[in-house]
Amino acid sequence: MFLSVSIAFFCFASGVLTNSLITPCKVNDLVCVDKSIKGAIPKILVGIPELGVESSDPIFVDQIDGNLSIIKYKFFNTTITGFKNCEISNFKLNEDITAIKYDLNCPKISLIGKYEVSGRLIVLPVEGSGDFQLITGKYSIHVDSELKKGTGSDGKTHISIKNFKLKSKALSPIKFDFKNLFNGQKDLSDAVHKFANENWFEVSELVQEPTWNACIKKVTTNVNKYLKNVALEDIVLQ
C-alpha cells in the first residue's frame, strides 16, 4: 500500500517536473527547441533533489589533473561556482537527435581549492603547492556532444549525452591567486602573478582544457541523471 502510494507520488512528481521543464517540440521547430532548452537548462543546473539530480552550481571536484607538456598541475577539492549564470546560445540539435552543439556564455566562474604545480608558465618557471583561487571574467565554452539513445527502465526511449568536445575562450581578464608559490618566496611569486594577470589570455589557452573538461563532465553527469526521467516520446512531437 505504502509502496504503491509512493510510486504513484513519484510518477506524479516526475511527470509534473518533466512537463514543466522541457516543453515538447518538433525536432525541426528551431524556435520551440531553443526556447524549451533555454527554459530547462537553468533549472537542471540548480539541481532537482527529488530526481537525484545534483546541483551544478557549485560543483565539487576531488581532483583535476592538468597533465600538460610544459606544465603539470593538479587541483584538489575544488569548488567551482558560477555555471548557473551561464547563458546558452547557438543551440543546435540535429534532426535524428544524435548530436547537439551550443555555446555557454559565462559571466564569471570562480574556482577555489588546493593546487600543486610544476613546470613553465609559458616563459616563467613555476613551482609550488597550497591554496588557490581563480576568478574568471567572461568566458565562452563551446560544447559539441554526441547523444545516445537507449531503453530506460520504463521501457521507453531515453537520450543521454554520450561525450563532449570543448572549445573554450577567455573573453576578459582572469584573477590568479596561488598562495605559497615557490614555498612562499615573494619576489618569484609576485613575478608569476604579474605575468599571469597580464597575460591572462595566453595563460588560459595553455592551462584551461583539463579544468573545463572536469567541470563539464560533472555537469553532463547531472544532466544525464535528469534525462533518465524523460522519455523521448514525451518531449519530441512527431
Ligand X SMILES: *[C@@H]1O[C@H](CO)[C@@H](O)[C@H](O)[C@H]1NC(C)=O
Site membership for ligand X, residue 67 (CB under 6 A): yes
Per-residue contact flags (x/-) with ligand X for residues 185 to 204, judged by CB under 6 A: --------------------
Kindly state the smallest distance separating residue 164's Cβ from ligand X, in Å: 20
Kindly state the smallest distance separating residue 44's Cβ from ligand X, in Å: 27
Site membership for ligand X, residue 77 (CB under 6 A): yes
Residue type present at position 153: S
Q: Which residues on adjacent β-strands are paired with residue 196?
A: none
Contact 195, 176 (CB under 8 A): no
Measure the CA–CA gap between 26 and 48, rounded to whole angstroms: 26
Q: Whose Cβ is closer to ligand X: residue 42's or residue 130's? A: 130
Q: Which stretch binds ligand X (CB under 6 A): 35-43, 69-77, 88-96, 131-139?
A: 69-77
Residue located via cell numbers 565539487: 60
CA 89, 234, 86 angle in degrees (round to 5)? 20
Sign of the CA dihedral running 129, 132, 137, 141: positive
Near ligand X by CB under 6 A: residue from 114, 162, 217, 218: 114
* Residues in contact with ligand X by the rule CB under 6 A: 67, 69, 76-77, 114
